[in-house]
Amino acid sequence: MKFGKLADISTVDFQLPADAPFNQQVYTGQQAPQPVPFYIGCTGYSMKEWTGKVYPKGTKNKDYLHHYTRQFNTIEHNTTHYRIPEPDTINKWRDEAPSDFRYCPKIPQRISHSRDLGMGSQELRLFWERIGGLEDRLGCCFIQLPPHFAYKKLPLLREFLNMWPPSIPLAVEVRHETWFAEAQRTEDWLQVLRDSGKTAVITDVSGRRDVLHMGLSNLTTMIRFVGNGLHPSDYSRIDEWLNRLSQWIDQGLREVYFFPHEPDNILAPELASYLHSQAQLLPNVVTRGPKLIEPDPEQLRLF
């Protein structure tokens, strides 16, 4: 993720802001009646650099998805951002994943970056039809609105969300500065999401602390976390997030999607592994994360 990246993070205040006041409208004040699913995943699985670390040594490209779905329990599925998958591909994805795995497909760019968010074409309906084929392996789709999509387009976003089918969960990420320039504007956006039953994406990235709005619009949250090459602050930030999520769960949050990003995705499994090791210590949470493969001692001796 290049959005909000900084070369020098020495002056960044990584402390999480206070909760958005709007959250008081969402909290139930009661823990979920059953363990809260805590989904941990990366932004893709076709990473040859993960062979011998996430995937067994010698794993073929065609088997990456199989091993990924055994190591993680969700994925920020960027493949769908570039094309709507064919039914055979959807069937393969669904059948490959175990029962607790959830795909989070990214809305195609031809929809998210179009002037009317795809409402005037057949692309949107085709996406719904195809992605519904994931059945119970479908987690929460998400739409990443383009950088130029400003607060003045809130009526367009409202129209889009109101026509979105309730059977397909959706999270929304906004990036333009005008959404966060005033507290009332952020609340307006959260209210539109709440009215339509959609989830607010929270992005935690070094160079754009304004997008870290800490707002909830329903009892699901999706967090896109951008690390800095496993800098020590990556781990302390994860710790603080888990403290905050524990508080939200105590208030009634019922579902968490957490996607740790690292430069070029190579080190994301290490951060995901740490996130999992700490998340599983939270009460009333069920999660699954990667168990990284230990290096071969024989190989290490060669160096």
Range in 129-133, 242-246, 270-274, 290-294 with the lowest mean pLDDT: 290-294
Whether residue 2 is contained in a domain is answered as no
Mean pLDDT of the chain: 94
SS3 content of the chain, % helix, strand, coil (to 5): 40, 15, 45
| Residue pLDDT, tens place only, 237-248 | 999 999 999 999
- Residue 258: is its pLDDT beyond 80? yes
Whether residue 64 is contained in a domain is answered as yes
Residue 263 sits in a domain whose CATH number is 3.20.20.410
What pLDDT does 33 receive? 82
Whether residue 11 is contained in a domain is answered as no
Query: For the chain, what is the domain count?
Result: 1
Whether residue 234 is contained in a domain is answered as yes
When pLDDT is cut at 50, 70 and 90, the band that residue 303 belongs to is very low
Range of the domain at 196: 21-301
| Residue pLDDT, tens place only, 50-73 | 999 999 999 999 999 999 999 999
What is the full DSSP assignment across 88-120?
HHHHHHHHHS-TT-EEEEBPPHHHHTSTTTTTT
pTM (2 decimals)? 0.95
CA 91, 96, 100, 104 torsion-angle sign: negative
Whether residue 162 is contained in a domain is answered as yes
User: Would you state the torsion angle of the CA atoms of residues 27, 20, 249, 197, taken in this order, to the nearest 10 degrees?
Assistant: 60
Whether residue 7 is contained in a domain is answered as no
Element (H, E) at 285: strand 285-287
